Structure 1
Amino acid sequence: MGKRLRRGKRQKKFLADERFATKVIVAIGITTAIFIAAQYVSFLITGIEQTTLITYYFTAVVIECGALMLKRVSEIIVARVKKKEEIEPETETDESEVL
């Protein structure tokens, strides 16, 4: 019984899986909405648009989203290569058994 209780209380390790990208995209969306609202309020108060800040913010967001896209594309390519490597030996043995 003691072992079962200990198993349930293990902490999960942080792994960069498919959900990680989704969480980052949601975080980027939320921070972008907050940023836009803050810039709008700032513009209403001061009458001056912070163009440099806006430019750098969206440049950083584009770089982050591009990096996530490259990560996802590389994961897909690696998965396809691994799948192809596992299928080829099986099909060769299946064909040789039939002959």
Structure 2
Amino acid sequence: MLNCTVKLYSTQETLTAGHRSSETHTLLYEGPARFSAPKTSWQQVAALEGALSGSLQVTTGTVLQATTRAEVTDWKTGTTTTYEVSNVGHAPDGGWGINLGARV
């Protein structure tokens, strides 16, 4: 069941003399998604360690492999939270599974 709106971004960093001088965020996808909290035991352990915040399921034809950042807006509360993306995988149903890391 869809329960949020998500904006997925790819981040490009510019380095000057070995230091980050700027960041550019490119919007890859904006639309409905399903956010789920950690369910399995390994996901819950990763969440306690701060390495995993949850996961998103997105159905789109857009290639999302380069996603580095996600803004999730909960439909029930209206709150928006930004996360680092730790992993993106193509699901068998043609959608995408996205593991969310730490909050930004």
- The two structures have a TM-score, normalised by structure 1, of 0.18
Who wins on radius of gyration, i.e. which is larger?
1
1 or 2 for the larger relative contact order (CA 8 Å, sep ≥6)?
2
> Which is richer in helix?
1
